[in-house]
Amino acid sequence: MTRTQTVKTGDVKTGDYTPGGLTLLACGALAREILAITSQFPDGMVDLTCLPASWHNHPEKIVPGLARKVASLRRKGRQIAVIYGDCGTGGEIDAFLEREGLTRIPGPHCYEMFLGTAEFDAEMEDQIGTFFLTDYMVRHFERIVMQGMGLRAYPQLRDMYFGNYTRALYIAQTDDEGLRQKARRAADELGLTYDYRFTGYGAFPDFVADAITASTSQTSQQKQRR
């Protein structure tokens, strides 16, 4: 990639981008997966910048954050593809992207992006009370759920928040026994049955490849016009 990155939860990454080329603008909860995908492409083809994953708990921050980042990247001459779902914004992300003439990966949330629409719908039809866990959620379950939702301090909140759920479904991006064990413990913490599906990176590799192809084509056309 254009530069080496370590994207940490909560970081808003900035840096010195070369003009032209593609930047993926993504939710920080997907940073590890996207970096694994982009590492398969030649250096300089694509870069990644992320907004804080914690903004899922504050969706009102997402569109203003996207707007600032888009403006900054355009000043640097970068092309942009967005990797976000709706993320609780009630359509505001899509409205913003339409105004800006930008595209994002299809789908309302990352669970469907990992599983695929048909399989996601089938899982929800099978058990509508499904609480989804991704690799990111499993790694940070204690901080996001147990601490972040106050369940450690107030255990009685568990049934209030999760009383309508029946199972925790771990949709895994990597084949990791340690994460499977953590996911099972997370299900136990919530009083839910445990289920597992391996998804890999789902729709993300194709979206990244298509975005790179479109960016390369656009850059070539711009050079020909000069």
- Ordered domains of the chain (ranges, CATH): 22-106+203-219 (3.40.50), 110-198 (no CATH)
What is the DSSP-derived secondary structure letter of residue 192? -
Task: Catalogue the E-assigned strands of the chain.
Answer: 22-27, 46-51, 79-83, 130-133, 167-172, 193-198
Q: Which of 150, 177, 172, 169 is nearest to 161 (CA)?
A: 150
**Structure confidence at residue 199 (pLDDT):** 98
**Structure confidence at residue 208 (pLDDT):** 98
Q: What is the pLDDT of residues 82-125, one digit of tens each?
A: 999 999 999 999 999 999 999 999 999 999 999 999 999 999 99
pTM over 0.75: yes
**Structure confidence at residue 226 (pLDDT):** 59
**Structure confidence at residue 8 (pLDDT):** 38
**Structure confidence at residue 43 (pLDDT):** 87
Residues of the chain with pLDDT under 70: 1-19, 219-226
Residues 6 or more apart from 28 whose CB is under 8 A from it? Answer: 7, 8, 9, 10, 11, 50, 51, 52, 53, 54
CB 187 within 8 A of CB 127: no
Residues 6 or more apart from 96 whose CB is under 8 A from it? Answer: 63, 66, 67
**Structure confidence at residue 57 (pLDDT):** 87
CB 59 within 8 A of CB 86: no
If one counts every other C-beta atom within 10 angstroms of the C-beta of residue 188, the result is 12
